Amino acid sequence: MSNVRKAVPSAGRSAPASTSGKKRKSQGPRYYAVQVGKRPGVYLTYAECEKQTNGFRGAIFKSFLSRQDAEAFAAGKKVQANSDEPQKFYAVAVGRPSGIYNDWSEASEAIKGVRGPKYKKFATRAEAVAFIREHGSAETLKALGETVAEEEEEEEEDDDDDEDDIEESRPAKKLKTTGKEKTDGFMQIYTDGSSRSNGKAGARAGIGVFFGEGDHKNISEPLPGELQTNQRAELMAMLRALEVVADEQDVRIISDSKYSINCVTEWAEKWEAGGWRTSNGDKVKNQDIISAIRKRMAERSQAGAQTDFRWVKGHASDPGNVAADLLAVNGAKQR
């Protein structure tokens, strides 16, 4: 018997990911209970269940081996899980519908016919949620009952807790990417922040802005102020980049901080309208830097320039991100 699943339509496409899931041996007929959907009830095939849930935001459905259990679940009653075998969690980040499944036959139906499905099997629900958090959509997370609000991101004071001995030992690489080169008219600028002993007393943070190899505009400096957190450093690096470039120049800020990007592209307007308070009523962290970035974006917009932001996976193989990271690490050492 599978666990509760809330599903939503897939948003976006990704490259396929492998899964080690195998089809289960037949255990008799299954009953598909739709608790929240177009027409709640019990259905005898997955196809019928899918008609009632596919495209229905926040749909809740589940399969059972017992019709009695299925009817109870569809009626909104709590039904105990079957503990005869270890539970498995199939995370479908890109599928129809996306969600977390406990039965491979159902997960396989969710990816059938989907171009570029992304899915994987896990031993725990937490791992499955993490997979969808990385590869799926915010809508899917919300339907699963997971937090995607700004408060969760603000708790992520983390992106790297740079005790940067690891960074120092990394072999140097020839940097081929340069911010001087323009793609579709946009100047690419890599930004990063680093905080040694992040979140602890005596933390030292630095910022890094990489325009290109040997570019005089490259920035490596300590984070000003008393608060020495990684998130402030990430945001300050973005601000410094926008302070350096000409107002008329289209730029693409490339960062490994989803928190920073979301702050200035998705959450700021809502925060400002709410008096710079989160939905929980707490004061928004790093408001001073976020406001300054938004001001620069507005000034640049008035000058006819675009300010684009793009996320890149940190500590990976992107040479521009590696360069910005090293600049940030060295900046922290200057404090």
Q: Quote the pLDDT of residue 82.
A: 53
Q: How many helices (H) and strands (E) does the chain have?
A: 12, 13
Residues of the chain with CATH 3.30.420.10: 165-333
- The lowest-confidence range among 33-47, 198-212, 239-253, 289-303 is 33-47
CA-CA distance, 40 to 256, in Å (whole number)? 42
Q: Quote the pLDDT of residue 81.
A: 56
Which range has the top average pLDDT, 193-197, 217-221, 256-260?
217-221
CATH of region 165-333: 3.30.420.10
Q: Quote the pLDDT of residue 285.
A: 93
For Cα atoms 205, 210, 216, give the angle at the middle one, nearest 5 degrees: 110
Task: Report the pLDDT averaged over residues 126-152.
Answer: 66
High-pLDDT (> 70) share of the chain, %: 74
pLDDT band for position 215 (50/70/90)?
very high
Cα–Cα separations (whole angstroms), residue 214 to 177, 183, 186, 221: 12, 19, 19, 16
Task: Report the pLDDT averaged over residues 254-278.
Answer: 91
Residue identified by tokens 């040479």 is: 319
CA-CA distance, 256 to 314, in Å (whole number)? 5
pTM of the model: 0.52
126: which residues sit within 8 A by CB, 6+ positions away? none
Choice between 302 and 153, residue whose per-residue pLDDT is larger: 302
High-pLDDT (> 90) share of the chain, %: 37
CA-CA distance, 31 to 81, in Å (whole number)? 14
Residue 11 pLDDT greater than 90, yes or no: no
